[in-house]
Amino acid sequence: MLRNVIALLCLSGAALAETPKVATDIAPVHALVSEVMAGIGTPDLVVPATASPHHHAMRPSEARMLSEADIVIWMGPGLTPWLEEPITSLASDARDIRLQDLPGTLALAIREGAFFDSHDHGHDHGQDKDHAHEEEGHAEHADEGHDHEGHEHEEHDHKAEDHADHAHEEDGHHDHAASGGIDPHQWLDASNAIFWMTQIAVALGQQDPDNAERYLANAQAAGESLSAVDAQIEAQLAPVRDAPFLILHDGLQYFEARYGLAAQGAVSDSEDDAPGPARVADLRAALQESDVHCALVEPQSDLRLLETVIEGLDIKIVEIDLIGAHTVGVPKGYEHLLTELSNNIAHCLSR
């Protein structure tokens, strides 16, 4: 009996060893990959959920995740340009899957300026439940010189370097060169997430053929569950769809477009851009003549500029978490991210 148990343990260990080692960049991507790998393996998270994806100094443990990875699944340099070089060097033998580059991913142009055209997102909300994304909205990225997974991948031939103590301080939020002019917050559209999970399952199945059917089944089940949540969010936000609101930093565009929300503008284009006095004055003047009574901010935001803009106005401030800082390790973490986001926005927009 003992000999049989030992044999089973050895077989189990061998099976585990064959499971692909997967490294992901941000919490939402980690959550999606976790759904696809459920019951098979667990991906690593390179960028801590509480860290800014735009600026992060990699620790030795995070560099090790890349160096040991068989597959790296990340948004791409449009969100984290500092991560591209470590992936190339430390994960040169790994498959490099950049979700922002997968053909079929919905892509919206970066918005500039303090004011937006409400409901003019280039995306018909509610019309792409089966992921019928318009090709006009798909990014023709400036990074076409690379063949990534989802296209025809060619492995990079670079020697690993030690990046563990290197601090990357580049601005990745609205870096036009890195993003090709595309807003990089594409995980905030549920149809992108559903589409990506299928592509992730295919890539994992190619790496691990013995579990290929399980990956696809997981992706299908997760997609069906997410579609139901998507419909619930649409119903929840329908009554407040036309209620105008202000954003501290412009990062919500995909969620707005998905559910037809009416953002009026942003205090700053990104968390790294400080608005000038003219922009602040223009916003304040516009708000005094508007029906805006809601302002959305991200965790740990500096509220001083927002408070200057809305001083004396009847506008409530509500926090929204776009990155899912509290979803790591939570079952259906991506659904939790969207549901919490919808709840907070509905609360802010309700009278």
Q: What is the CATH number of the domain that holds 332?
A: 3.40.50.1980
Phi, psi (degrees; rounded to nearest 5) at 268? -140, 155
Do 27 and 54 fall within a single domain? yes
Which runs of consecutive H residues, i.e. helices, occur in the chain? Answer: 2-18, 27-36, 60-67, 84-90, 176-179, 190-207, 212-237, 253-259, 277-288, 304-310, 333-349
Which runs of consecutive H residues, i.e. helices, occur in 121-241? Answer: 176-179, 190-207, 212-237
Do 286 and 193 fall within a single domain? no
Return the percentage of the chain with pLDDT > 90, whole number: 63
Model confidence at 169: pLDDT above 60: no
Q: Which domain holds residue 195?
A: 2-232
Token pair in block for residue 100: 């922002």
- Residue at a domain's end among 182, 213, 232: 232
Return the percentage of the chain with pLDDT > 70, whole number: 77
Rounded average pLDDT over 294-319: 92
pLDDT at 351: 79
For the chain, what's the residue count? 351
Model confidence at 275: pLDDT above 90: no
Q: Are 188 and 233 in contact (CB under 8 A)?
A: no
Do 321 and 345 fall within a single domain? yes
* 216/153 Cα distance (integer angstroms): 21
Encoded amino acid at 249, one letter: H
**Strand 316-319 relative to strand 71-74, pairing:** unpaired
CA 80 to chain centre: 11
Token pair in block for residue 69: 């990875």
